[in-house]
Amino acid sequence: MRVLITLLLCLGLSSCESGVTPIPSAHKTGELVVVTRNGPTTYYEDAQGQYVGLEHDLVMLFAKELGFTVKFVVAGQFHEILPKVISRQAHFAAAGITITDERKQRLLFSTAYQTVQQQLVYQTDQTKPASFQDILGKRLEVVAGTSYVERLNQVKRQFPAFTWVEVQNQETEELLGRLAEGKVDYVIADSHIVKLSQNFHPELAVGFDVGRPEYLAWAFPKDGDDWLYKKSLQFFAKIQADGTLKRLQDRYYGHIERLEQADVIGFLTKMNTVLPKYRDLFYEAQDITGIDWRLLAALGYQESKWDPLATSPTNVRGIMMLTEDAADEMGVTDRLDPKQSIISGAKYFLNQKEALPPRIAEPDRTWFALAAYNVGPGHLEDARVLAQRQGLNPDAWPDLKKSLPLLSKTAYHSTLKHGYARGGEPVIFTENIRTYYDILVKFEPPYRPLFAPFAQGNRAEKQQKLKATKS
């Protein structure tokens, strides 16, 4: 009888792994088993070798709330994710899963945490399509097992001759890369994935939206742990109410729409033509400071477009656009010398970072330091004071982005220690660097020195090394 019931359940759910025993309840083991997938919108290893991603961070917060540990199971292909949940080989899926009517018949969904829009993407060398009728007979690729397929099945009822290709061994980001290379005519992707990809492939554009907006959520088995499911609803209610969800979304998506297509094209061009001249100097700067050379290069590009002779009307000069005071502080004799500029700019940036209160955590700490590099530590501290007055978190970059622009308004800066500042500029400055850094991380390999004098050691040791390298 037990075997018969199991078979009936498998047939009813349309997916079951033969002979597989469901994992124990998380409530009993104290461990969450979560199926996810590799990708910039879900779960991935960053430039520092740490696992990050919106789904990763949400799951880790949820586990912390419960006092549980986490085991991530990374699915090799998207279509493997939901069967693992249905057969209870994972407690839930946190993988950018779209809520659809078909999936709701087999799964329970948490509170939605993000709205997305399916979009048909094309290469700008081609004519912009206005509807599915315009792409009949062309090669359209989508990832197998996704909600894109469900939507396309609806389109096929209207256009019986309409066809597409379902790809099993690649993610949507990879299909968009194939589209940029001209290997496919069209791809359907969610709007947040499209925006991220356009920063790497500026030749991609949106032809039209496909259907209505949809919602992303965690997927739970219908016959799973009801206690855990209810805890997830409480968790999302809490992080929506206290602003945590919004801050996490800003961490991963808050900067991706800052640059225009021309900005990205210009950056990619100079990445291949100008950056090679200075790459070794950025490597050396990483040796001295321990800061990823690609972040320093992104900072240099934002400041000067890697022009060693750049000079502003206020006499800020060089690749890293050092002021006279900053140059004097760092012992620079010639701000137009690329080596002195890059090395000293990197050390000056490190000084800004180390001067911040220890409680400011990464990655916000890096964004704060970039803002301080631009507007000065005094004005940055004023913005933190202002954020606190407004009931915001003075240690969170998404909240500081709201208070910094207010430094240009008399009603606010007149009450602060350092007075007026063009507070909107450090926000744009920092957000642009974040995007340039993302691009460099994608296309440029990390620098792995055999000996990194700044890779280890305490603050005093680091300061001593800085003094030793001021020449």
For the record, the structure tokens of 448 come out as 């792995």
The residue annotated as part of the active site, out of 141, 303, 381, 431, is 303
Same domain, yes or no: 103 and 125: no
416 belongs to a structural domain: yes
Contact 357, 372 (CB under 8 A): no
Task: Find tokens 């399916």 and name the residue.
Answer: 118
Q: What is the pLDDT at residue 211?
A: 92
Residue 92: give the domain boundaries: 2-108+216-253
Same domain, yes or no: 130 and 174: yes
Examine the pLDDT at 294 and tell me if it is beyond 50: yes
Residue ending a domain, among 212, 229, 244, is: 212
Residues 6+ apart with CB under 8 A from 96: 37, 39, 41, 42, 55, 190, 216
Closest of 437, 389, 82 to residue 282, by C-alpha: 437
Q: Provide the domain count of the chain.
A: 3
- Higher pLDDT: 1 or 173? It is 173
45: confidence class by pLDDT, cuts 50, 70, 90: confident
113 belongs to a structural domain: no
8: confidence class by pLDDT, cuts 50, 70, 90: very low
Closest of 86, 59, 462 to residue 289, by C-alpha: 462
Same domain, yes or no: 238 and 265: no
Window from 129-143, 192-206, 209-223, 448-462 with minimum mean pLDDT: 448-462
Q: What is the pLDDT at residue 386?
A: 96
Examine the pLDDT at 125 and tell me if it is beyond 50: yes
Q: What is the pLDDT at residue 76?
A: 87
CA distance 213 to 328: 54
Contact 302, 288 (CB under 8 A): no
Same domain, yes or no: 330 and 398: yes
Interval 452-467 mean pLDDT: 47
b (16+ CB within 10 A) / e for 292-321? bbbbbbbbbbbbbebbbebeeeeebbbbbb
Q: What is the pLDDT of residues 70-97, one digit of tens each?
A: 999 999 899 999 999 999 999 999 999 9
Interval 249-258 mean pLDDT: 86
124 belongs to a structural domain: yes
- Higher pLDDT: 162 or 15? It is 162
Contact 424, 430 (CB under 8 A): no
Examine the pLDDT at 391 and tell me if it is beyond 80: yes
Same domain, yes or no: 304 and 429: yes
Q: What is the pLDDT at residue 312?
A: 86
- Higher pLDDT: 449 or 102? It is 102
Examine the pLDDT at 471 and tell me if it is beyond 70: no
Q: What is the pLDDT at residue 197?
A: 92
461 belongs to a structural domain: yes
Same domain, yes or no: 440 and 294: yes
Ramachandran assignment for 384, one of left (phi > 0), alpha (psi -120 to 50 degrees), beta (any other): alpha
**CATH number reported for the structural domain that contains residue 103 in this entry:** 3.40.190.10
Same domain, yes or no: 80 and 14: yes
Active site residue 284: no
450: confidence class by pLDDT, cuts 50, 70, 90: low
Examine the pLDDT at 456 and tell me if it is beyond 70: no
Same domain, yes or no: 326 and 449: yes
Percent of the chain clearing pLDDT 70 (strictly above):
91
Q: What is the pLDDT of residues 186-234, one digit of tens each?
A: 999 999 999 999 999 999 999 999 999 999 999 999 998 999 999 999 9
Interval 376-387 mean pLDDT: 95
Same domain, yes or no: 266 and 235: no
Percent of the chain clearing pLDDT 90 (strictly above):
79
Same domain, yes or no: 167 and 300: no
Average pLDDT, the chain: 90
Interval 426-442 mean pLDDT: 95
295 belongs to a structural domain: yes
For the record, the structure tokens of 154 come out as 């609806």
